[in-house]
Amino acid sequence: MPAATLAVHGGIITGLTRGTRVSSRFCASWKTDFPGVAKCGSPMPDRGHCCGPHLGSLPKAMEMMRFGRGVESSTRSTPKFRRIRAQSSEGDIEDASSHKIQTKSSGTVLPYVGIACLGAILFGYHLGVVNGALEYLSKDLGIAENTNLQGWIVSALLAGATVGSFTGGSLADKFGRTKTFQLDSIPLIIGSFLCATAQDVRTMIIGRLLAGIGIGVSSAIVPLYISEISPTEIRGALGSVNQLSICIGILGALVAGLPLAGNPLWWRTIFGIAIVPSVLMGLGMVFSPESPRWLFQQGKTSQAESAVKSLYGAQKVDEVMNDLRTGGGQSSGEHDAGWLELFSKRYWKIVSIGAALFLFQQLAGINAVVYYSTSVFRNAGITSDVAASALVGASNVFGTAVASSLMDKQGRKSLLTISFVGMGASMLLLSLSSSWSVLAPYTGTLAVFGTVIYVLSFSLGAGPVPALLLPEIFASRIRAKAVALSLGMHWVSNFVIGLYFLSVVNRFGISRVYLGFASVCLLAVLYIARNVVETKGRSLEEIERALSATAL
């Protein structure tokens, strides 16, 4: 491991003589300021490894140690030393894994992740439930001919979700993660109940708005909570369960709507079903441990230790608490950041990455593909809307399951890149299949193939990674609000695309629109290569320290 890496890790090297420790920052400074000496880790006869040249006696070694301390103290606050730390940090987070010895967790976080993922299931369920039910509820409420009011019923959820996503960050900072889940269950329960019992369109819209606020809060706090309670070695896999749960929720809404054809009043039941997971989530969070990171940030050290013990086991308490004490935000004793601080020079660059990833996710065309998939499949001879939706949903679930198994092996950044490359190629295929006359005999087949490959590619990276990556790269004092801001970008862009997609298609044609989506995917690949860092195998505190060093 190069000496520069150690400046990021803040570790210590055993060297010089038995029982003597040398500061890693001294190693980095020594290597830079005295290029003629041996590198850290160079072998020494009879002395293992050393930082510095072979010293023949203990007095000389101690003399050199005293000199090293002087070098360290004199360079600690200089611009030169800050440059050394920044340079060493910038590359190491990309591909270096944690070198500190970690004990294995004996506790289990899976039950608590499962409870949190009820929020993600509700997210997907409320998004998907209206698709099958809209025709039947419109007849029942007397708005079958009023497409404007039908549009409001659909869009009210997205409007509420936008409000909820921004609210979730502030609630999570003020009341904690678990209490925010409990508060979030209230609009989810009331909203579902109003939708299920609505006798007029106004009640229906209010119910959808409340349900939207609930899923907006969930979209912000589910990935946040999972990221903060998950062990480092499986954080990627557990974080991917969030996206998988959303897919399961969408499929659940599809399955719940199957009896509609035989029982038109079934639409009330499928809205009412959402009450059950909402209640379970609220009750489950009463017994779930609070995020140790939030507790520590609030100065509740003893409670943080108890949470760590229940999540990871007693043997992990010292290790995790030491990480928390050396975390970037806590070492300076800073409180939670305000909303305006997210736009400050200190944080804006990293916050903008979160907003950009969600913007690319939506502008790359995922919702447009889902909205237009029924027409695509009908043109290919698949006349069943249920079959078309099931094929898209199954592709999404399968791809997300694969991503979950690869997240901690392949890494977040590489999966993002592969995902956008696949999405761009699929969009190009869809564009060519609808515009090249030579491909006319195969248009239907190619359209279905391109759509399925696109959804698979999306679910491998562009779908699950942003919600997983952002809580990892945001500093502890801005994490909740920065995630909420990024999710707000998701909901705003989702709303705009849903509102204007068909108008844009009518004006420019579907082939050009698909080509535009392919161009967005290419821009996303270039942006990811330049700005996104790899975080696999690193604790949240290690990532925070490394990124803080690059900002110096």
Q: 233-271, pLDDT tens digit by residue?
A: 888 888 888 888 998 998 888 888 888 878 889 999 999
Domain borders along the chain are 107-288, 341-551
CB atoms within 10 A of CB 356: 19
Give me 417's structure tokens: 């890149």
Q: What is the pLDDT of residue 123?
A: 93
Mean pLDDT of 356-381: 78
Give me 523's structure tokens: 């821009």
Q: Average per-residue pLDDT in the chain?
A: 77
3-state secondary structure of 172: helix
Mean pLDDT of 31-47: 39
CA-nearest of 368, 529, 533, 384 to 451 is 368
Mean pLDDT of 466-473: 83
Q: What is the pLDDT of residue 13?
A: 30
Which position has the higher pLDDT, 284 or 448? 284
Using CA atoms, how far apart are residues 34 and 259, in angstroms rounded to an integer?
A: 77
Give me 540's structure tokens: 């949240």
* Domain 107-288, CATH number (from 1.10.3720.10, 1.10.290.10, 3.90.1150.60, 1.20.1250.20): 1.20.1250.20
Mean pLDDT of 117-129: 93
Question: In Å, how far from its chain's centre is CA 470?
Answer: 5
| The pLDDT of residue 551 is above 70 | no
Q: In CATH, what number does 341-551 get?
A: 1.20.1250.20
Give me 299's structure tokens: 């100065």
- DSSP of 270-288: HHHTTHHHHHHHHHHHHSS
- Which range scores top for mean pLDDT: 356-370, 396-410, 416-430? 416-430
Q: Quick one: what percent of the chain has pLDDT higher than 70?
A: 74
CA-nearest of 365, 333, 299 to 505 is 365
Residues in the chain, total = 552
Q: 145-193, pLDDT tens digit by residue?
A: 887 888 889 889 988 998 998 888 889 888 999 999 999 999 999 999 9
Q: Report pTM.
A: 0.68
What is the 8-class DSSP label of residue 124?
H
Let me know the angle formed at the C-alpha of 274 by 120 and 495, rounded to the nearest 5 degrees: 55
Of the pLDDT bands very low, low, confident and very high (cuts 50, 70, 90), residue 17 is very low
Contact present, 124 and 177 (Cβ < 8 Å)? no
| The pLDDT of residue 67 is above 90 | no
Mean pLDDT of 469-474: 83
Q: What is the pLDDT of residue 384?
A: 67
| DSSP strands (E only) in 262-421 | none
Contact present, 221 and 450 (Cβ < 8 Å)? no
Mean pLDDT of 54-71: 40
Using CA atoms, how far apart are residues 141 and 144, in angstroms rounded to an integer?
A: 8
Contact present, 510 and 435 (Cβ < 8 Å)? no
Q: What is the pLDDT of residue 450?
A: 87
| The pLDDT of residue 375 is above 90 | no
CB atoms within 10 A of CB 55: 19
Question: In Å, how far from its chain's centre is CA 301?
Answer: 27
Q: 441-455, pLDDT tens digit by residue?
A: 777 788 888 888 999
Q: What is the pLDDT of residue 290?
A: 95
CA dihedral angle for residue 432, residue 434, residue 439, residue 443, rounded to 10 degrees:
130
Contact present, 283 and 118 (Cβ < 8 Å)? no
Q: 188-214, pLDDT tens digit by residue?
A: 999 999 999 999 999 999 999 999 999
Q: What is the pLDDT of residue 10?
A: 35
Q: Alpha-carbon Rg of the chain, whole angstroms?
A: 26
Q: What is the pLDDT of residue 86?
A: 36
Let me know the angle formed at the C-alpha of 259 by 254 and 264, rounded to the nearest 5 degrees: 110
Using CA atoms, how far apart are residues 158 and 156, in angstroms rounded to an integer?
A: 5
- DSSP of 28-77: HHHHHH-TTSPPTTEEETTTEEESSS---SHHHHHHHHHHHHHHHHHHTT
